[in-house]
Amino acid sequence: MLPTRSNPTKATRIGPKILILYSLPKVGKTEALVHLAQREDCLIVDSEQPHGTDTYETTAMKVDNMAQIMHIPKLIQEEGAKRVTAGKKGMDVFPYKFIAIDTLDAVEDMAEVSATAKYKESTIGKTYKGKSVLELPNGGGYYYLRNEVQEVIDTYAAVCPYLILIVHVKEKLISSKDGTEVKVNDISLTGKLSSIVCARADAIGYLYRTPKGELKVSFQTYDGAVMGARQKYLAGKDIPFSWETIYPDVFGEQNAQV
């Protein structure tokens, strides 16, 4: 039957399927992920150099290249297939409820290497002598880089209910309505990749610490700043950070801290 106003399609989740969290270095992104992994089945894919999870005992897999990054979803799929065979259904077929990629900008660096190798192996690029695909004229190489990163996001999103993308922050200058230039925070991805990844996300939060050291997250929307959320309970909020607030369907609304 076609859905109607009296018989609408039911919601299947509340929290963001893809969540982007970005901040300055050493704010506490990895520590927040470790806390999440202590409470729920969460796999941290640690792509940083040096690895941020080295000082934690947690559910993390450390990766140094794109081959390692893309091998992990295959292992998860194999485990998921075993669960289906054992009669598991719904959320129980997923080995991990959450997967967090920490960080996506480090994955982008690895993707440049793999995109270059794939281009040189292709028919069109077999005579290419450049060191990086990004050296292609007219910025043509960024297409291949974007495809690599998007493939990572698509592949991981398919093997878990909730995907968290951790990204570093960069400052950029924009012109305000009165003609002056102001600094705003942006996620540290290259060119169009930033807007493409943000368009895929349900919620984008900026993590920061107050002068008193309190960890907060902002989903407020400003011109030129990449923050916001489709979830009404997050949209426009600047709140103390807690996983309960972001994922009330997982942790229970009665525990939410808003």
- The label of the residue with tokens 């398919």 reads 158
Q: Are residues 53 and 147 in the same domain?
A: yes
Domain boundaries, position 243: 173-252
Q: Give the pLDDT score at 110.
A: 96
Measure Cα distances from 101 to 38, 152, 213, 244 in Å. 17, 10, 25, 20
Residue 20 domain flag: no
Q: Residues 100-124: pLDDT tens digits?
A: 999 999 999 999 999 999 999 999 9
Q: Give the pLDDT score at 164.
A: 98
- The label of the residue with tokens 């950070």 reads 241
Residue 134 domain flag: yes
The distance of Cα 226 from the centroid of its chain, to the nearest Å, equals 13
- The label of the residue with tokens 């910025």 reads 139
Q: Give the pLDDT score at 182.
A: 41
Cα separation, 148 vs 66, whole angstroms? 9
Residue 78 domain flag: yes
Measure Cα distances from 227 to 19, 233, 238 in Å. 11, 14, 11
Q: Are residues 89 and 116 in the same domain?
A: yes
Q: Are residues 146 and 57 in the same domain?
A: yes
**Residue 78: CATH number of its domain:** 3.40.50
Closest Cα to residue 61, out of 76, 77, 72, 50?
72
Burial of 83 (0-12, 13-18, 19+ CB in 10 A): middle
Number of structural domains, the chain? 2
Q: Are residues 148 and 178 in the same domain?
A: no
Q: Give the pLDDT score at 100.
A: 98
Q: Are residues 154 and 178 in the same domain?
A: no
Residue 36 domain flag: yes
Q: Are residues 30 and 152 in the same domain?
A: yes
Residue 16 domain flag: no
Among positive and negative, which fits the CA dihedral 28, 249, 98, 152? negative
Q: Are residues 236 and 161 in the same domain?
A: no
The helix-helix angle for 192-200 and 141-157 (nearest 10°) equals 20
Global model pTM greater than 0.85:
yes
The helix-helix angle for 104-121 and 141-157 (nearest 10°) equals 120
Q: Are residues 119 and 242 in the same domain?
A: no
Q: Are residues 145 and 243 in the same domain?
A: no
Q: Are residues 121 and 198 in the same domain?
A: no
**Which residues of the chain register pLDDT less than 50?**
172-176, 180-184, 254-258
